[in-house]
């Protein structure tokens, strides 16, 4: 089998995978993002759907879910459950400040030839070397990372959980994600492996599209410093998505942001 056919297979595998993840929208949706009082709870939905924010397609799997407390420690979510169309979990906000919930996944795809047969492999980075035979030929590896986040604040917003991990594509929110209000423009930036990600296309879609014809999505591109602004005219839940693709790699970031009325 020649190289171009192998490349085509690798590309179609990427497309196959991307159809299941990117033709639909993945999201984490907390029951509230701004809370007052001590020891309050939030219930969080996680789903992959067509319409925002309705769970009508697939639940998000909760492996890879990490909940960060305001002091930077991780918190075990309570009552996790994966049902037919959504997963849910609860978090008690025992600290004042900003919590972050993130589901980060990485998948590695490989195509190679072994004794004239084309083989495909999909798995975790750690298993790539052990599960793909050493004598594999024409090995092509594609890595896909996805980070899905949302933010919840009890009391005064804090920024500890907003510190970037410097891995993959992530948001640097100059405007605090739990300080968004209708009529105000939020300022954000994107980082790729800790460095400003310039020229990246960002899409923001308001929720509730089941009840309107026009999607009303906003498209912006990050500038040379990786920065972008989103004017939030109306209150509501918004889905933010950005993807960076290069040779053998695709990195995606998704956030659910709540914009409150004035």
Partner 1 sequence: MRKRIAALLAAVPATSLAANLALTIEIPKVTVAEYHRPYVAMWIEKPDQTFAANLAVWYDTRPKTTDNGTTWLKDLRQWWRKSGRELTMPADGVSGATRPPGIHNVVFANGKGIQPGSYLLVVEAVREVGGRELIRIPFEWPAKSTVSTNGKTELGAITLTVKP
Residue 198 Cβ vs partner 1, minimum distance, rounded to whole Å:
32
The sign one gets for the Cα dihedral 125, 129, 130, 131 is positive
Residue 178 Cβ vs partner 1, minimum distance, rounded to whole Å:
10
CB-based contact 173:250 (threshold 8 Å): no
Closer by beta carbon to partner 1, 43 or else 140: 43
3-state DSSP call for residue 117? strand
Residue 165 Cβ vs partner 1, minimum distance, rounded to whole Å:
27
- CA atoms of 203 and 188, how far apart (whole Å): 13
The sign one gets for the Cα dihedral 111, 114, 118, 121 is negative
- CA atoms of 107 and 125, how far apart (whole Å): 7
- CA atoms of 56 and 20, how far apart (whole Å): 14
Closer by beta carbon to partner 1, 152 or else 190: 152
Cα first-last separation, the chain: 62
Max Cα-Cα span within the chain: 66
- CA atoms of 116 and 25, how far apart (whole Å): 38
Residue 262 Cβ vs partner 1, minimum distance, rounded to whole Å:
7
Which residues contact partner 1 (rule: CB under 8 A)?
34-38, 40, 155-157, 179, 181, 260-262
Closer by beta carbon to partner 1, 55 or else 238: 238
Closer by beta carbon to partner 1, 97 or else 206: 97
25: its two tokens: 């929208």
Residue 155 Cβ vs partner 1, minimum distance, rounded to whole Å:
5
Residue 38 Cβ vs partner 1, minimum distance, rounded to whole Å:
7
């Amino acid at each position: 089998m020649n190289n171009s056919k192998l490349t085509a297979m690798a590309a179609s595998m990427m497309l196959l995978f991307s159809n299941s993840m990117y033709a639909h929208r993945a999201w984490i949706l907390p029951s509230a993002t701004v809370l007052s009082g001590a020891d309050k709870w939030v219930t969080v939905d996680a789903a992959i759907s067509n319409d925002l924010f309705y769970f009508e397609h697939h639940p998000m799997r909760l492996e890879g879910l990490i909940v960060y407390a305001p002091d930077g420690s991780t918190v075990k979510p309570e009552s996790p459950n994966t049902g037919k169309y959504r997963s849910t979990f609860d978090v008690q906000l025992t600290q004042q400040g900003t919590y972050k919930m993130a589901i980060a996944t990485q998948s590695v795809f490989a195509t190679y030839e072994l004794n004239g047969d084309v083989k495909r492999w999909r798995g975790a980075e750690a298993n790539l070397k052990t599960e793909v035979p050493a004598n594999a030929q024409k090995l092509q590896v594609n890595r896909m990372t996805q980070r899905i986040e949302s933010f919840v604040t009890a009391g005064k917003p804090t920024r500890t959980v907003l510190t970037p991990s410097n891995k993959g594509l992530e948001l640097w929110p100059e405007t605090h994600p739990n300080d968004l209000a209708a009529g105000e423009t939020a300022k954000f930036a994107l980082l790729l492996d800790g460095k400003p990600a310039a020229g990246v296309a960002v899409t923001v879609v308001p929720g509730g599209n089941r009840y309107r014809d026009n999607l009303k999505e906003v498209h912006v591109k990050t500038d040379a410093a990786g920065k972008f602004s989103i004017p939030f005219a109306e209150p509501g839940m918004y889905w933010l998505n950005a993807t960076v693709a290069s040779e053998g790699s695709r990195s995606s970031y998704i956030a659910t942001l709540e914009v409150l009325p004035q």
